[in-house]
Amino acid sequence: MAIDYSQLIPNNVDLSSDRRLQRALENWQPRFLDWWKDMGPDGTSAHEVYLRTAISTDSNGWANFGYVKMPEYRWGIFLADRDPDRVIAYGDNKGKPVWQDVPGELRSTLRRLIVTQGDTEPASVEQQRLLGKTAPSLYDLRNLFQINVEEGRHLWAMVYLLHAYFGRDGREEAEEMLVRHSGDPDKPRILGAFNEATPDWLSFFMFTYFTDRDGKYQLASLAESGFDPLARSCRFMLTEEAHHMFVGETGITRILQRTCELMKEHKTDDVRSLGAIDLSTMQKYLNFHFSVSLDLFGQEASTNAANYYTMGVKGRFLETRIDDDHLLTNAAYEIDTAEDGRIVKRTVPALQALNERLRQDYIEDCAKGVLRWNKAIERAGFNFEMKLPHRAFNRRIGAFAGMRISPDGKVLSEADWTAHEGKWLPTDEDRAYVTSLMGPAITQPGKFAHWIAPPARGINNQPGDFEYVRFN
């Protein structure tokens, strides 16, 4: 269905046919805008930004680029098209038609999943709210703002489901989304990674590479949900998520390129003296963001995950493309877990290992970008390899929480850990150094901060000196 932009809330769900729902959402809208003004990108209400806006939910609907004042961005409700023949692909309800409404017995489960996903969306906007002040170029500033408005829209996607399908409880949850704030000691966001600060652009690129990718895997498994409106919401959100991960991957590549360029030119590894980010600091930031993102997948062995699957609420990554019985009642899966302070492999019922399986899919996906980063380093003539640390490294959730484990997966004593921690995770000094590079935003078209290379291509094929943001 085409997106109706003539409405106060653009949508493709025929919102005007349900007056009660429309009024409830129109009531929430000004509160969202207040939140955006208070907690969204700081000091940007007059900027005009070259943004893409969805005009329909099929693949060519994205071709719409133009200047938008951010508070006037048309946030709305866009679901991927309905497939009338869609059936539940797995679990006890396998083969039955998907649900167009919430089954009574799944109400609280589905509500919790939607709230947990929804909470991450405004959280990341809050985490990134000051980054515009230190943007390394107009191109990067525009990408930051594109991500921010889309995360705002992802909040809309989840709030719509809460309002439309969960009655009074849902409306209250929607209010709470704007009350919790990232890093707030009293009312923090639900998940740990979304309460960490994103104080600089190296953190931002690592966040969009690793943490937005967790989003991809969570959305993909919710896109398999038997609750069809959730599945269709997530399908469309995934198309937006792809750009966020692109920004992360290419951002890191461009920093690596610049670092290698300076290493070559000055024949030294010590690029800090040249105002760039050294490779070992990059590795430490990678270690941090990867391990924090792994925690988002939850416990290695989980009865909750088993129940979600059996009930048809949350599937596996690309469920319908997997060649097995989609019941998993007799299947087994090998996981890494901890026993008596050691890391061991254990075979457990596959149903209980679904979090771990999703984490494994995620790790393999993360590794692909790392390979491309290493290619870039190699092309520049250096042999330094960026590596994903062991899945047990620096974990706060799951079997390895509280253990001291090195990036190559060795269990350490507290003393050993303390002696090495500063080589593996960013130290205060590293963070202070990276922060010191973040100068005032570079606002001249085609100019870039000293520590990052220009992108290979402009957004929507615009030339290198394109004016992506107009300051008014």
Q: Which residues bind Fe ion (CB under 5 A)?
A: 121, 151, 154, 212, 215, 241, 244
How far apart are CB 187 and Fe ion at their closest, in Å? 20
How far apart are CB 16 and Fe ion at their closest, in Å? 27
Choice between 151 and 278, CB closer to Fe ion:
151
Choice between 93 and 208, CB closer to Fe ion:
208
How far apart are CB 154 and Fe ion at their closest, in Å? 4
Choice between 233 and 259, CB closer to Fe ion:
233
Choice between 219 and 335, CB closer to Fe ion:
219
How far apart are CB 457 and Fe ion at their closest, in Å? 21
How far apart are CB 315 and Fe ion at their closest, in Å? 19
Choice between 90 and 210, CB closer to Fe ion:
210
Choice between 148 and 257, CB closer to Fe ion:
148
How far apart are CB 143 and Fe ion at their closest, in Å? 12
Tokens of 403: 């253990």
Place of tokens 């150094």: 433
